[in-house]
């Protein structure tokens, strides 16, 4: 069970300011806990504290940053089941998946601990002409300064980790706004950070309204804004002024199954089912569009249809549950309406069922119209559509026929096709032999087009959170 109440963290200290934010069990619908909800005054204080802490964080020794991160690894490991249960309750994530996300939280902090003492720099050969003989150049990485982080509901631990852990490794103070629907995991992370020797004011974790979070976007003392969420991110970028902005905004990821997929069809089905319906499809890189070569389409359709129909939907606390609740009933109603519209436009229902509240069964369609919302937009629910193709280049073109470009998966046994996909697909990452839903926490992760700008992955986030400072020395 969750604690009855949780404080927020302002300038590194727990503040039980109120219990205004109710957090609900996404499966039962019952209130699970209450959380302190920050107001504009608290957000301003957090920004001021981060600004004041910037020199101390920059001076905080690299090995001390590593020690903080290693402490987090140890404490998250000790609190593994507590974190998983909190995630299961507040996000409705099936317990097996919740435990997996806690493991990724730990991995991300562990990677950051390794990077904290390896920030490095470079030596620059400046003797490029007679004029510059006798000059030496060196550059080191220094913290960019106070950072603002805004995270969504679907990965309340790991998406927080991908912002917080690199910030500590880089020496940047930060203010984090977690999603109001799922704040508990971030606040547990805050409780662990409060046990460490981070400089005073180095972090604040504040559930707050979107309006009050606007202060994080617009305040000039914030030097970097990292936002993960919906297309509203582009509006935030427009309001952010001169600060650096990193956006992770989602997608409608596609998966190609070539004439020779390169893997057994049963194994392929298992991965597509995972990619499309993991945590009720509420993943930016969830499989939404499946393009299958005509030679294997009929057989794959049969296997996929049977596999999707067998997925167990229910209580996320049960190990046997694969599809849990969506984050709220409005989201489930939206996806249901998109499915209905696609069917009216000619799509064929292969597997699915009736929605009950925020519980939407795993749904598989065939031949979704290319002008339908279910094809063009991010569904963010347990639904995927499949269709046949005859020519591999045509399949690549269909993947690119999207406003998004986060990741794509390609099952092919032909090296030339794998390389052609890497060359031509307009996405941030191409995954060969697996679904686009694959992510490792040290890889450069991010998209193009409406999927955002910048890359996450600990080392790449640290690069965004630091700047190169040049030293030039003239030999006497």
Q: Which residues are tagged catalytic? A: 248, 284
* Residue 159 host element (H or E): helix 158-170
3-class DSSP assignment, residue 122 = strand
Give the integer Cα–Cα distance in Å for 242 and 239.
9
Give the integer Cα–Cα distance in Å for 409 and 288.
11
Give the integer Cα–Cα distance in Å for 316 and 325.
8
Backbone dihedral region of 395: left (phi > 0), alpha (psi from -120 to 50 degrees) or beta? alpha
Q: What are phi and psi of 64, to 5 degrees?
A: -70, -35
**Number of neighbouring beta carbons within 10 Å of residue 343:** 17
Q: What residues have CB less than 8 Å from 412, skipping those under 6 apart?
A: 256, 258, 260, 261, 262, 392, 418, 421, 432, 433
Residue 61 DSSP class: -
CA-CA-CA-CA torsion sign (442, 443, 447, 448): positive
What the block records as the tokens of 408 is 């794509």
- Contact present, 253 and 263 (Cβ < 8 Å): no
| Integer CA distances (angstroms), 355 to 58, 93, 154, 337, 362, in order | 52, 18, 20, 11, 10
- Contact present, 267 and 189 (Cβ < 8 Å): no
- Which residues sit opposite 147 in a β-bridge? 174, 224
């Amino acid at each position: 069970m969750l604690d009855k109440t949780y404080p927020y963290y302002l300038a590194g200290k727990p503040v039980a300011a109120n219990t205004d934010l109710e957090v609900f069990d996404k499966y039962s619908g019952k209130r699970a806990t209450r959380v302190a909800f920050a107001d504009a005054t608290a957000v301003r204080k957090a920004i001021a504290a981060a600004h004041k802490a910037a020199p101390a964080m920059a001076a905080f020794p690299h090995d001390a940053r590593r020690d903080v991160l290693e402490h987090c690894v140890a404490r998250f490991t000790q609190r593994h089941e507590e974190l998983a249960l909190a995630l299961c309750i507040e996000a409705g994530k099936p317990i097996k998946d919740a435990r997996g996300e806690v493991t990724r939280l730990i991995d991300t902090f562990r990677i950051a601990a390794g990077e904290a003492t390896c920030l490095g720099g470079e030596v620059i050969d400046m003797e490029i002409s007679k004029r510059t003989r006798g000059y030496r150049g060196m550059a080191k990485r220094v913290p960019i300064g106070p950072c603002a982080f805004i995270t969504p509901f679907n990965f309340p631990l790991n998406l927080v980790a991908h912002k917080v852990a690199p910030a500590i490794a880089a020496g940047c103070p930060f203010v984090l706004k977690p999603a109001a629907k799922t704040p508990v995991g971030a606040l547990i992370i805050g409780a662990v950070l409060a046990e460490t020797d981070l400089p005073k004011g180095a972090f604040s974790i504040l559930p707050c309204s979107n309006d009050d979070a606007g202060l994080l976007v617009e305040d000039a003392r914030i030097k970097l804004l990292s936002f993960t969420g919906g297309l509203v991110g582009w509006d935030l970028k427009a309001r952010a002024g001169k600060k650096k902005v990193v956006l992770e905004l989602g997608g409608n990821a596609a998966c190609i199954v070539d004439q020779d997929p390169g893997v057994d069809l049963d194994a392929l089905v298992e991965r597509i089912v995972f990619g499309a319906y993991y945590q009720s499809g509420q993943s930016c890189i969830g499989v939404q569009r499946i393009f299958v070569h005509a030679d294997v389409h009929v057989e794959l359709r049969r296997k996929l249809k049977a596999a999707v129909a067998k997925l167990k939907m229910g209580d996320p606390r049960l190990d046997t549950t694969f599809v849990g609740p969506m984050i709220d009933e409005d989201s489930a109603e939206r996806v249901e309406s998109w499915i209905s519209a696609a069917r009216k436009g000619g799509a064929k229902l292969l597997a699915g069922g009736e929605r009950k509240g925020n519980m939407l069964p795993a749904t598989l369609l065939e031949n979704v119209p290319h002008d339908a919302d279910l094809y063009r937009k991010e569904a963010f629910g347990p639904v995927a559509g499949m269709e046949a193709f005859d020519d591999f280049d045509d399949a690549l073109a269909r993947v690119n026929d999207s406003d998004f470009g986060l990741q794509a998966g390609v099952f092919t046994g032909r090296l030339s096709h794998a390389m052609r996909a890497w060359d031509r697909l307009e996405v941030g990452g191409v995954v060969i032999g697996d679904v686009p839903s694959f992510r490792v926490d040290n890889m450069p992760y991010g998209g193009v087009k409406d999927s955002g700008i910048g890359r996450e992955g600990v080392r790449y986030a640290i690069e965004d959170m630091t700047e190169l400072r040049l030293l030039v020395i003239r030999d006497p």
